[in-house]
Homo-oligomer: A and B are copies of this chain.
Amino acid sequence: MLDAIASAPGVSRAGVAARTGLTKATVSTVVDRLVTASLVREHGQERRSGPGRRGTSLSLSPDGPCGLGVEIGVDYLATCLVGLTGEVRGEWTRHRDNRDLPPEQVLSRVADALAEALADARRQDVTVAGVGVAVPGLVDTASGRVTVAPNLGWQDVDLAAEMHTRTPELPGQLVVGNEANLAAVAELHALRHEPASPSSFVHVSGEIGIGAGIVLDGTLFDGLHGFGGELGHFPVQPRGPRCSCGARGCLERLAGKDAVLDRAGVDDVDALVAALDAGDSTARAAVRAVGRVLGSTLSAVVNLLDVPTIVLGGVYARLHPWLSEPLSAELGDRVVGAPRRRVEVRRSVLGGEAAVRGAAAAALRTVLTDPDAYVLRARQAESRTTSSVGSRMDGGNGSSPAS
């Protein structure tokens, strides 16, 4: 029912009944509960064409709960709070190198970042419905374990358990996912508001590592174990530089953020963009070379999956003006059936924020798919709070709970 309201904001109770096949009486009862739980709001008249009396308009509530997204980047930690209607209530990025640290140390940083974001949510009086974590590695999403994250140097880390241990008051459900897959889903939703938005694409996000998320017909394709879309270790140079994964000449060693900055002789992405803007020939040559390597790799992806669109995310989104031409040229040379099969190369809407936004959205999705569990948890939390400060629910007799 929440899906029906989310996909048609402004719909009436009768409209929801028609869309879901439920009776109007059932819809009304459930809608009342959703309104009480601040998941849905009633606001003015239903928006639709055609004759007949207009019902009350229903939409997801902007005052409802937020999802809290966390991204464990290779050289940063990001968190964000996103509401049901997509509004960002807060967003923080901490630039810190997480490589070659024991996982425990990174997990402490994560717990600190979480504590800050949760404190901010409390200050804003926002309920956090769940936490989503984006990791640059292979994740067993069912258990929340990280099988391997080469760039972090992690092997078999039980992230979900570690996070529960470090943050016992973790609100709602915890979702752990691969950052590239979460980014691709976030981008899919963001693209829906753009002109000529594609429903099948490969989202390639360049950071120190390179991740890909494959979206086919509006659905994430992530393979048998959810390990699909690993593009960073694509073989480019059989005798190339050694990669964090143990192999040689992987794509991310030749076209990842560090490689581009190195080639261009600059320290960070801001400096790179400034140099490109100024027409610096070393910087431009560096990005052109990366564009060709990326294009050659993506030609293999297009030939294999027959997807019509590439979306450049992460650092590549900022480099899009200089990357897209050499990349498209290489696609034109290597995609079988080109030039009759044009592949569009577009810039991501969310850029470097896609993964953390996707993590927040994944946490919120647990509410949309199981609102009852959320309502129950919210009631339990309220009764804990009220009983510890003096219960409002039982008439305010002020008795302390037994602990």
Contacts and interface: CB of A to CB of B under 8 A. Distances in A.
Contacts of A150: 336
B300 A235 contact: yes
Contacts of A299: 233, 235
Interface stretch (A97-105, A304-312, A318-326): A304-312
A138 B304 contact: no
Interface in A304-346: 304-308, 333-334, 336-337, 340-341
A332 to B, nearest CB: 10
A229 B304 contact: yes
Contacts of A224: 200, 216, 306-308
A213 to B, nearest CB: 11
Interface residues of A, number: 43
A340 B214 CA distance: 23
Mostly helix, strand, loop or mixed at chain A's interface? Answer: loop
A364 B337 CA distance: 29
Nearest to A292: B238
A297 interface: yes
A144 interface: no
Given A303-B233, A306-B222, A227 B296 contact: no
Given A200-B224, A224-B200, A334 B235 contact: yes
A246 to B, nearest CB: 7
Contact of A341 (B227, B246, B297, B308): B227
A91 interface: no
A55 interface: no
Interface string A217-237: 000001111111111111100
A212 interface: yes
B336 A300 contact: no
A211 to B, nearest CB: 11
Nearest to A222: B306
A196 to B, nearest CB: 15
A57 to B, nearest CB: 37
Interface in A232-254: 232-235, 238, 245-247
Contacts of A337: 138, 147-148, 227
B307 A223 contact: yes
A223 B306 contact: yes
A301 interface: yes
Interface in A53-77: none
A219 to B, nearest CB: 13
B148 A228 contact: no
B223 A305 contact: yes
Which of A227, A336, A341 gathers most chain B CB within 10 Å?
Answer: A336
Interface string A160-186: 000000000000000000000000000
Interface in A269-300: 296-297, 299-300
Nearest to A308: B224
A17 B300 CA distance: 47
B300 A227 contact: no
Nearest to A293: B238
A304 B304 contact: yes
A301 B341 CA distance: 22
16 contacts: A147-B337, A200-B224, A214-B304, A223-B306, A223-B307, A224-B308, A227-B341, A228-B304, A230-B306, A230-B336, A231-B303, A233-B299, A235-B296, A235-B297, A300-B300, A301-B304
Q: What 5 A-B pairs have minimum CB-CB distances, sorted nearest first?
A: A223-B306, A230-B303, A228-B306, A227-B306, A235-B296
Given A222-B306, A304-B305, 11 more contacts: A148-B337, A223-B305, A224-B306, A224-B307, A227-B336, A227-B337, A230-B304, A230-B336, A234-B300, A234-B303, A247-B334
